[in-house]
Amino acid sequence: MRANVPSVAPQFIRSRIGKVCVAIIGTTAAEMLEKASAVVKETPFLEFRLDYLEKPLLALPKLKHFFEDNTAATAIATCRRAANGGKFSGNVAAEMEILSKAAGAGFHIVDLELESAEALKKGELQKLRDTGIALIISHHDFNATKDLDGIYQRIAPFQPDFVKIVPTAKSLTDNVTLIRFLERMTDNSNIIGICMGDAGIISRVLGLRAGSAFTFAAATPGEETGPGQIAARTLIETYRVDQVDAATKVYGVAGNPIKSSLSPVMMNTAFRRETVNAVYLALQSHKVTDLLKLVHEIPIQGLSVTMPHKQEIMSHLEKTDPLSAKIGASNTVLRAQDGKLYGFNTDVAGIVGPLEKRMSLRGAKALVLGAGGAARAAVFGLRDKGADVFILNRTAETAQKLAKQSGSKTIKKEALAKTPFDVIINATPIGMAGQKGAQLLEAKDLNTKLVFDLVYNPVETPLLRLARQQSIPIITGVEMFVQQGARQFEIWTGKPAPEEEMLRVVIHALRQAAEAAAAEAPAPAAKPASSPKSGTAAKAKKAS
Ligand code: NAP
């Protein structure tokens, strides 16, 4: 973009970098270098957030040694001022001093926020550029996604090597605004565009697909430097951003909240395993109308729909399968070749499938605990297969209504001990990690040949433990989770789903989440530790 500046040519920079730049944070040079050393072999494109350092200038000689030892590394120096979402409390002159010295320390690129660039006196920016370092001019909006063209017009006169525009998505539609902006800029290959925030997570993948030169990632979960930032390994291994291109089909799971969903890791693994050029994203959606705008604009080829949208989505679909209509909920949407949206319910298959592997459901006697969405899928699915279904729910009227709709019966807790069942299915959240509430059943109530807990986190719930203690066979909620996902995969791709691989990654992810939760839990009697990791990551406003 710029002329007559003796710098590291952008083409040279571009030949060295991948699509993912890992943000490195730390309060000391030693801490930063430890983190950089851990990631540089896998991802040699790094952003050192010098504003996180207590003494940025003193750290530069140590960082210089790192670049001498790691010649494949390409590094951005950023010293974001507090006024623009960073941690640096100095003024623009102090920021410029640090960035100029960063050039001498072996950094290849500096990131200067637009507000600082605009505050400089004539000639000051040129002095920085005369060091030969490449320049990013960046703009962050922590409140909205608006006037992206106007921001670009403010940045362009500085003729930077890269233009970085980072708004905040408050809705899924805000991502569409960013994507359309990036697409309009296709002649300019030096734009970086990302939406911050949970609703903007998808822009970290779709932005690249629309032409963003690269994106930013956290070194590890918990070290995010911007709201919604994803860990580098997740972006590369789960979302395969290195392979995402214009032909990549987009799928996603829509719900609220959706951040902790295991569907992206499971479905992206399935796509990779079956070499389908597709990516599956977490769509944080407050409103179905917002979701549908995204679906039509991107376009999105298929959706997993979860709480709270499973019922509302139905009225926006061209047609649904008969079970969805009976249950009043669809968890799967397919965009057919005619561009119209069709609904399915694979929760039913996720419950009935594992049961049919173990027993014949015709005439089987089943107890369903709960009368919400999952219970409805269980009850209608079981009735469809000819089972005799009993419902027990906290709110008796809801159970009675569901029993009437489905041709089932209700039952009182007191009757359980003397009523034998072939299977007991828990379709309430009781037993779920973090869920409070007394256990619904005691040992004497487990008068059954099989217990199926639809709760999948933790894998072994208290109810399943109780069943095991009595040598009653069990089915875990993970099996349902994988089965409903496998059927979705098949509806979308027409290929058999790699169920074993899907099960393996879900169990692995659940184990990791449990370990992380255990590590986060404060030690008894000790004050909650403010580790450098959580401390640096959580403080103040963060910029991507
Ligand atoms: P839902 O529509 O909100 O229904 C929840 C049901 O649980 C209601 O019947 C509710 O009774 C009952 N309930 C809630 N809290 C209770 C408590 N403290 N004590 C007794 N009963 C209580 O939720 P859902 O979509 O059906 O999901 C239920 C559970 O199924 C979820 O938590 C999830 O763990 C599991 N699930 C698993 C999968 C999977 O793939 N494995 C898929 C979907 C769901 P009231 O009518 O009295 O409110």
CA angle (325 as vertex; 321, 331 as ends), nearest 5: 70
426: CA distance to ligand 1 center in Å?
8
The partner residues of 249 in beta bridges, in order of sequence, read 278
| pLDDT 10s digits, 328-365 | 999 999 999 999 999 999 999 999 999 999 999 999 99
In whole angstroms, give the CA distance from residue 418 to residue 394.
20
354 lines ligand 1 (CB under 6 A): no
Q: How far is the CA of 341 from the centre of ligand 1 (A)?
A: 27
Q: Is 310 a catalytic residue?
A: yes
Instruction: Check: CB of residue 347 under 8 Å from CB of residue 394.
Output: no
Strand positions, DSSP E, 63-128: 74-78, 109-113
For residue 188, count other CB atoms closer than 10 A to its CB. Answer: 15
Give residue 18's pLDDT band: very low, low, confident or very high (50, 70, 90).
confident
Cα separation, 195 vs 102, whole angstroms: 28
How much is the pTM? 0.87
Confirm or deny that 471 is annotated as ligand binding: no
Burial 88-123 (b: 16+ CB within 10 A, else e): beeebeebbbbbbbbbebbbbbbbbbbebbeebeee
Q: Is residue 350 annotated as involved in ligand binding?
A: no
Strands in 79-175 per DSSP E: 109-113, 134-140, 162-166
Per 3-state DSSP, the chain is made up of helix, strand and coil in percentages (nearest 5) of 45, 15, 40
Is 399 near ligand 1, meaning CB less than 6 Å away? Answer: no
Q: What share of the chain has pLDDT > 70, as a percent?
A: 94
What residues does 462 pair with on adjacent strands? Answer: none
Residue 370 CB–ligand 1 contact under 6 Å: yes
Comparing 254-263, 272-281, 288-297, which segment has the lowest mean pLDDT? 254-263
Active site residue 164: yes
Burial environment of residue 215 by CB neighbours within 10 A (0 to 12, 13 to 18, 19 or more): buried
Question: DSSP string of 125-145?
Answer: HHHHHTTT-EEEEEEE-SS--
Residues 6+ apart with CB under 8 A from 307: 255, 256, 373
pLDDT of res. 9? 61
Q: With beta carbons less than 8 A apart as the criterion, state whether 533 and 25 touch.
A: no
Pick the residue whose CA is nearest to atom 28 on ligand 1: 428
Ligand 1 atom nearest to 428, measured from its CA: 7
Q: With the CA atoms of 218, 267, 295 and 152 taken in that order, what torsion angle do they form, in degrees rounded to the nearest 10?
A: 20
Q: Is the CB of 427 under 6 A from ligand 1?
A: yes
Alpha carbons 355 and 480: distance in angstroms, whole number: 10
Residue to probe by mutation, ligand 1, list 408, 440, 452, 454, most atoms within 8 Å of CB = 454
What residue's CA is closest to ligand 1, atom 33? 455
- 140, 309, 326, 542: the catalytic one is 140
User: Residue range 133-158: average pLDDT?
Assistant: 97
**Options 35, 249, 309, 310, the catalytic residue:** 310
Amino acid occupying residue 74: T
User: What's the CA gap between 428 and 409, in Å, rounded?
Assistant: 18
pLDDT reading at 389 higher than 70: yes
> Which of the four pLDDT bands, split at 50, 70 and 90, describes residue 14?
confident
The fraction of the chain above a pLDDT of 90, given in percent, is 83
The CB of 431 under 6 Å from ligand 1? The reply is no
* Active-site pick, 19, 35, 139, 164: 164
Q: Please report the domains of the chain, with CATH numbers, ordered by start residue.
A: 10-246 (3.20.20.70), 348-482 (3.40.50.720)
Q: Is 469 exposed, middle or buried (0-12, 13-18, 19+ CB in 10 A)?
A: exposed
Instruction: Please report which confidence band the pLDDT of residue 10 belongs to, taking 50, 70 and 90 as the band edges.
Output: low
**How far apart are the CA of 403 and the centre of ligand 1, in A?**
17
Q: Say which DSSP state 196 is in.
A: B
Least confidently predicted of 213-222, 345-354, 441-450: 213-222
Instruction: Give the residue whose CA is nearest to atom 18 of ligand 1.
Output: 437
Rounded distance from Cα 58 to ligand 1 centre (Å) = 55
Q: Given ligand 1 and candidates 311, 394, 481, which is best to mutate, with the most ligand atoms within 8 Å of its CB? A: 394
Is the beta carbon of 437 within 6 A of some atom in ligand 1?
Answer: yes
Pocket of ligand 1 contains residue 374 by CB under 6 Å: yes
Contact 205, 298 (CB under 8 A): no
Does position 463 have pLDDT exceeding 50, yes or no? yes
| Overall average pLDDT of the 156-162 stretch | 95
How far apart, in whole angstroms, are the C-alpha atoms of residue 200 and residue 544?
Answer: 12
Q: Where are the alpha helices (DSSP H) in 210-298?
A: 232-233, 263-273, 288-297
Does residue 395's CB lie within 6 angstroms of at least one atom of ligand 1? Answer: yes
- Ligand 1 close to Cβ of residue 372 (< 6 A): yes
370 annotated among ligand-binding-site residues: yes
Residue of 348, 339, 349 whose CA lies nearest to 296: 339
Task: Check if 486 has its Cβ closer than 6 Å to any atom of ligand 1.
Answer: no
Chain-centre distance of CA 392, in angstroms? 35
Give φ, ψ of 426 to 5 degrees: -90, 115
> Looking at 141-155, 364-378, 516-530, which range is the least confident one?
516-530
**Residue 251 near residue 300, CB atoms below 8 Å:** yes
Residues 275, 303: contact at Cβ < 8 Å?
A: no
Helix axes 263-273, 499-520, angle to 10 degrees: 140
Q: What are phi and psi of 450, to 5 degrees?
A: -155, 140
pLDDT at 17: 87
In the reported structure, the alpha carbon of residue 28 is separated from the centroid of ligand 1 by a whole-number distance in angstroms of 47
The three-state secondary structure class of 168 is: strand
Residues whose CB falls within 8 Å of the CB of residue 33, separated by 6 or more in sequence, listed in order: 26, 62, 63, 66
306 annotated binding-site participant: yes
Q: What is the pLDDT of residue 189?
A: 74
Q: Which of 199, 281, 197 is nearest to 240 (CA)?
A: 281
Which has the minimum average pLDDT: 2-16, 453-467, 473-487, 498-512?
2-16
> What is the rounded CA–CA span in Å between residue 57 and residue 60?
6
Q: Can you list the positions of beta strands (E) in 435-508?
A: 451-453, 474-475
Class of residue 337 by CB neighbours under 10 A (exposed 0-12, middle 13-18, buried 19+): exposed
Q: How far apart are CA 167 and CA 175, in angstroms?
A: 9
Of residues 4 and 126, more confidence is placed in: 126
Judge if the beta carbon of residue 455 lies within 6 A of ligand 1.
yes
Closest by alpha carbon to 331, among 349, 316, 346?
346
456 is an annotated ligand-binding site residue: yes
Is 140 a known active-site residue? yes
Which residues, in sequence order, are CB contacts of 226 under 8 Å at separation 6+? 23, 166, 194, 196, 216, 542, 543, 544
* 290 annotated as a binding-site residue: no
Looking at residues 106-117, what average pLDDT do you find?
97
Ligand 1 centroid to Cα of residue 301, in Å, is 29
Min mean pLDDT across 44-48, 168-172, 254-258, 497-501 is at 254-258
Closest-CA residue, ligand 1 atom 44, reads 374
Mean pLDDT of all residues belonging to the chain: 92
| Integer-rounded Cα radius of gyration of the chain | 27
